[in-house]
Amino acid sequence: MKQRRFLVLEDGSCYPGYAFGSTKDAIGEIVFNTGMTGYQETLSDPSYTGQIITFTYPLIGNYGINEDDYEGVYPGLKGMVVHELAEHPSNFRSTKTLDEALKDFDVPGIYGVDTRSITRKIRSSGTMRGTLVDNADKLDEIVESLKVYQLPVDEIQLNSSKEIKQFPGDGPRVILLDFGSKDNILVELSKRDCEVIVVPWNTSAEIILAYKPQGIMLSNGPGNPTSVPEAIETIKQLIAQENLPMFGVCLGHQLISLASGATTYKLKFGHRGANHPVKDLENGKISITSQNHGYAVDEDSLKQTDLIVSHRALNDGTNEGIKHKEKPIFSVQYHPEASPDPHDSNDLFDHFINMMKTAQGGKQHA
């Protein structure tokens, strides 16, 4: 027998549906994702920590869940909202249903709701707090509790590595600053035979430089980039090094910009999905990119820095990439390791490798 469940938003909207996944209630920031596939990668992406995800594609769960496509070990999302839930997935790699996976992770979901209406509301009013409950009889009380609920501000600290981890390789030594990194970043670096040292978000520049890295990789991560001033100061010190290549993605892009003197702001409803077109301003190439962020770099503020704009979103004109005027430093707002475009944008990792090889032939940093 189907169990009733309700999605309640802080503006008083109430969407009745049916429960799947965990039976517990949940509260978080309601957002939407426009990807047609990739729900497993999305539910395990650390950047969704504290959020309830609404999928705009109407059928979710149709190819099930497998053990190879997770992006993180412990999903940080608070809940999932879908229109139609596939109860009998069909794929030779599938080992469990989406319902079973959410039960394993203790994440509640709701299906049978009008996800198009929810998405239009978020686009119109912006992201807001939402909750999944089994009883909405006391709707006014639920809405009042939503209005005073404080969204978490320690998402990066929750998702970052707690200790330094080393992964061997015969190529360049890369320090991966982990702010909630997706596993595919490590995969892409390892595929290029890099020696990777993963360090926690608050590792000092002194400790990082003691490893004598040939490159610095700044990962993706959840939340507001200004919530980690210690990391911004560390990146500022790393940028000051001579001839030290640096590559940032998503949150890493925002942190490089902040460390260089730029500012960031919260987007009305964010960019989340695997179908966002981005233009490379240098060569005119347009890539279809995977994105998951609620903040963006203010392009006007970049004019007062040593950074120049390299990429721009075609949907809304927001900044999608920067590079340093003089130093081997660049970053993009999207996820090149996800590669939804048949003309893969993960060639940026090759560019990073080439930068490190070039730097090794020049004067090394202190």
User: How distant is the alpha carbon of residue 94 from its chain centre?
Assistant: 24
What pLDDT score does 240 carry?
A: 97
Q: Are residues 91 and 220 in the same domain?
A: no
Q: How far apart are CA 149 and CA 249, in angstroms?
A: 30
Q: How far apart are CA 339 and CA 331, in angstroms?
A: 16
Q: Are residues 329 and 180 in the same domain?
A: yes
**What is the per-residue DSSP string for 187-240?**
HHHHHTT-EEEEE-TT--HHHHHHT--SEEEE---SS-GGG-HHHHHHHHHHHT
Q: How far apart are CA 61 and CA 40, in angstroms?
A: 9
Q: Are residues 95 and 164 in the same domain?
A: no
Q: Are residues 182 and 240 in the same domain?
A: yes
Q: Are residues 338 and 284 in the same domain?
A: yes
Tell me which residues of the chain have a pLDDT lower than 50.
Answer: 341-343, 363-366
Number of compact structural domains in the chain: 2
Q: Which two tokens stand for residue 173?
A: 């030594």
Q: Flag whether 17 is in a domain.
A: yes
Q: Which two tokens stand for residue 206?
A: 């002194």
Q: Are residues 126 and 159 in the same domain?
A: no
Looking at this protein, which amino acid is placed at residue 154? Answer: D
Q: Flag whether 366 is in a domain.
A: no
Residue that is last in its domain, among 130, 148, 166: 148
Q: Which two tokens stand for residue 76?
A: 């940080």
pLDDT digits (tens, 9 = 90+) for 62-112: 999 999 999 887 788 999 999 999 999 999 999 999 999 999 999 999 999
Q: Are residues 177 and 218 in the same domain?
A: yes
Q: Are residues 122 and 188 in the same domain?
A: no
Domain containing 193 — which CATH number?
A: 3.40.50.880
pLDDT digits (tens, 9 = 90+) for 291-345: 999 999 999 999 999 999 999 999 999 999 999 999 999 999 999 986 554 445 5
Looking at this protein, which amino acid is placed at residue 270? Answer: G
Q: Report the binding-site residues.
A: 47, 221, 223, 251, 254, 292, 294-295
Q: How far apart are CA 134 and CA 23, in angstroms?
A: 8
Distance linking the first and last C-alpha atoms of the chain: 66
Burial of 366 (0-12, 13-18, 19+ CB in 10 A): exposed
What pLDDT score does 339 carry?
A: 55
Residue that is last in its domain, among 81, 113, 148: 148
Domain containing 83 — which CATH number?
A: 3.50.30.20
Contacts of 135 (CB under 8 A, 6+ apart): 6
What pLDDT score does 363 carry?
A: 46
Q: Report the binding-site residues for L-glutamine.
A: 47, 221, 223, 251, 254, 292, 294-295
Burial of 2 (0-12, 13-18, 19+ CB in 10 A): exposed
Q: How far apart are CA 144 and CA 12, in angstroms?
A: 9
What pLDDT score does 365 carry?
A: 41
Residue that is last in its domain, among 131, 148, 165: 148
Q: Are residues 163 and 276 in the same domain?
A: yes
Contacts of 132 (CB under 8 A, 6+ apart): 5, 6, 7, 25, 26, 27, 52, 79, 108, 109, 110
At 77, is the secondary structure helix, strand, or coil? coil
Q: 315-335 b/e with 16+ CB inside 10 Å = b?
A: eeebbbbbbbeebbbbbbbbb
Task: Tokens 């600053």: give the residue.
Answer: 177
Domain that holds residue 89: 4-148
Residues with catalytic roles: 250, 335, 337
* Strands 26-33 and 51-55, bridge-based pairing: parallel
CB 210 within 8 A of CB 173: no
Q: Flag whether 90 is in a domain.
A: yes
